[in-house]
A = this chain, B = another copy of it.
Amino acid sequence: MIGFRIKKKSGRSAARLGVLKTPHGEVETPALVGVATQATVKTMTASQAEAAGCGMLIANTYHLHLKPGEGVVRKAGGLHRFMNWNRPMMTDSGGFQVFSLGFGMDLGQGKILRRKSDSRVTVGQQPRLLKITDDGVEFTSYMDGQRLFLGPAESVGIQESLGADIILAFDECTPPSADRKYTERSLERTHRWARVCLEKHRTDQALYGIVQGGKFHDLRRHSAETIGSMPFDGFGIGGEFGDDKRQMSRMIRWVTGVLPEDRPRHLLGIGHPDDIRRIIRAGVDTFDCTAPTHYARHGTAFVPSGRLDLNQVQYLKQFRPLDSKCSCFVCQEHTRSYISHLIRAKEVLGLTLLSFHNLHFFHALAARAREDIKRGIL
């Protein structure tokens, strides 16, 4: 069970300041949800993740189903106890991973493989590596090539075993190149699956429905109306929003303008530094983004002026912090020179320090946005 209270609505945008209450504590919204795909914020201990600003984490049903299996997590007493995280948690339904890996392999695209995408290709049929039926998706395990099946009933069952505070309905995440006809059919499935998730759901975990609809205005509105009319505890907004930031804001507004105001909205997988204020202005309460830890693993630090690639030799000679105005322990205790050395010498500590700093940086942006809603300027 969760509670959601809106403390203030912005007079200048659709932004809302709120509090999300869960059995594991509260989160002030809008908030970035830290990504803990495999039951760990990559390279960090639970207390480091908390110190970096994570008030809530999202773990992944697809990954945890494959490894270690939800049975292990259930026997451990649920995800919170399994990973020793005593604050709010949610789980993603696994739909995104199943579909994006399938489409990705077929088309060399999908969110996971976006850098290689060719957006001129359009999808008018099912991806070949997936077999989509009314009940779910048959797919191939990335681990051992085994054929597996995941559908709304299975996803809810797994998420109930995992035991997060908030679980997500199983949906089909269409790729940006999906054509109207494919998106329409897919959306009907997603809506049907949303009802199955509600029917199968047995625990008192909060269940969010997911809005899809691709890039089509009327389909997005139709999805927000349909999902918004169902008795979900909150709503996820899924799918691709393209690379045009203004267009992204507009598309999110299509959805938040229709969804019931009294329940929380989570934007799935979006939240780069230049997205954060936009998506908050568009009425999003929580959002998750792998960028802080993903870029850290490639040796990149986020700073106010952009990004630093600590692999570059120039940083070895810079004996100042990543960001001289940052209050995180990495910037208090370590120099660019040392972190660059660690990254160049392939020392794991470099990844941990960059992950910490990046997460702190992203959370600070969200905190600033909350402050600006309070002050009436966002």
Contacts and interface: CB of A to CB of B under 8 A. Distances in A.
A316 B84 contact: no
A68 B345 contact: yes
Contact of A84 (B39, B333, B345, B351): B333
A67 B348 contact: no
Contacts of A38: 341-342, 345, 347
A274 to B, nearest CB: 28
Given A82-B337, A83-B338, A348-B351, A316 B72 contact: yes
A184 B317 CA distance: 44
A45 B316 contact: no
B67 A338 contact: no
Contacts of A75: 317, 319, 337
A337 B84 contact: no
A345 B43 CA distance: 12
A112 interface: no
Max count, chain B CB within 10 A of own CB: residue among A40, A42, A335: A40
B319 A45 contact: no
B68 A337 contact: yes
A227 to B, nearest CB: 32
Q: What size tier do the contact residues of chain A reach? A: 35 or more
Contact of A349 (B42, B77, B316): B42
Interface string A345-365: 101110111000000000000
Contacts of A338: 39, 76, 82-84
Given A316-B68, A352-B348, A337 B42 contact: no
A317 to B, nearest CB: 7
Contacts of A319: 75-77
Contact of A337 (B76, B335, B342, B349): B76
A236 to B, nearest CB: 25
Given A38-B341, A43-B349, A45-B353, 15 more contacts: A40-B342, A42-B348, A43-B348, A43-B352, A68-B344, A72-B317, A72-B337, A72-B341, A75-B317, A75-B319, A76-B335, A82-B337, A82-B338, A82-B341, A348-B351
Interface of A: 38-40, 42-46, 63, 67-68, 72, 75-77, 82-84, 316-317, 319, 333-335, 337-338, 340-342, 344-345, 347-349, 351-353
